[in-house]
Amino acid sequence: MMEKLIAYSDSNLLNSDPVENVEQLIEHGAGAIELLMDGCFWEDPDPQIVKLVEILTKYKVDYSLHPPVWDINLTSENKGIREASFSEHKKAIQFAPLLKAKYVAIHPGFTYSPVFSKSEAKKRAREALSRLNEVARPLGVKLAVENVGYHGTSIFTCEEFVEFVTGFDDTIGYLIDTGHAFLNHWDIPELIRQTQTRLLAIHLHDNGGTSDDHLVVGQGLIDWNPIYESLRNTALDFKLVLEYRQGTALADLQSSKEMIKKNLRLR
């Protein structure tokens, strides 16, 4: 189903009505959509769930879910923030089967100060993911662990990220974020090769090498040709998600999709 291989995140429509977002993204060629559960329309999602499921399941698209990003940290130094972060991830996991979502993205956490222990953060990340897995497994929900953090806030090296996910059962897989990997100087084609058997998604976006800009593919400094080559050598049974910054034109999603299809030699 190549028309659903390349997905759109609604991150460029942040803080807008998710139903309207889905409708606009479909109008611009979306066959698959990753919903970012952040902003004012997700302030109190519980009462909205029944309504959203009723409306969103009418559209012939694949869904995936991304729990809130801002103010969320599963490995926070503050226990209250860790538990609130766990609760928000749990809500997304419970929402996922109602939408038949392909996966839920998981940010394993950050260390925001060099005085905080990365070893302790990794321990907390493992504990949180184990708890989330107990929620996800009986629901048949896949968890896609994303490489997050840069400028010292990432709790993993590239090698540690790969090893971390392999320590869990196959309910849990990888989500490679190209922008974050580039900022941390990771070898993206090699990372794709190492994770491809459990790869659930790749977030595609660009940056200038200093901040997480979420630019349109090709507008930053990432060398995409080796990435395209690596992707051409995989089975492509995961999602390629265009995750662009707020305010990016919808037409840029559509043109990026066509460019990527061309570079991957897809019809």
- Structure tokens belonging to residue 4: 């659903």
The span from the CA of 264 to the CA of 65, in Å, is 25
With beta carbons less than 8 A apart as the criterion, state whether 64 and 201 touch: yes
The confidence score (pLDDT) of residue 2 equals 65
Any bridge partners for residue 34, and if so which?
Answer: 9, 64
pTM greater than 0.95: yes
3-class secondary-structure state, position 240: strand
The span from the CA of 97 to the CA of 253, in Å, is 27
Which sign does the torsion angle of CA 144, 149, 153, 157 carry? positive
Here the CATH number for the domain that contains residue 220 is 3.20.20.150
Domain count, the chain: 1
26, 93, 199, 210, 214 from 226: Cα distances, Å: 30, 34, 18, 21, 19
Instruction: Please return the burial class of 102, using the count of CB atoms within 10 Å of its CB with bins 0-12, 13-18 and 19+.
Output: buried
User: What own/partner pairs with CB < 8 Å and gap ≥ 24 does 187-190 have?
Assistant: 187/158, 188/222, 188/226, 188/227, 188/230, 189/226, 189/227, 189/229, 189/230, 190/230
pLDDT in tens, the chain (267 residues): 567 899 999 999 999 999 999 999 999 999 999 999 999 888 876 777 888 999 999 999 999 999 999 999 999 999 999 999 999 999 999 999 999 999 999 999 999 999 999 999 999 999 999 999 999 999 999 999 999 999 999 999 999 999 999 999 999 999 999 999 999 999 999 999 999 999 999 999 999 999 999 999 999 999 999 999 999 999 999 999 999 999 999 999 999 999 999 999 987
DSSP 190: H
The span from the CA of 29 to the CA of 47, in Å, is 30
For 56, the domain range is 2-263
With beta carbons less than 8 A apart as the criterion, state whether 180 and 206 touch: no
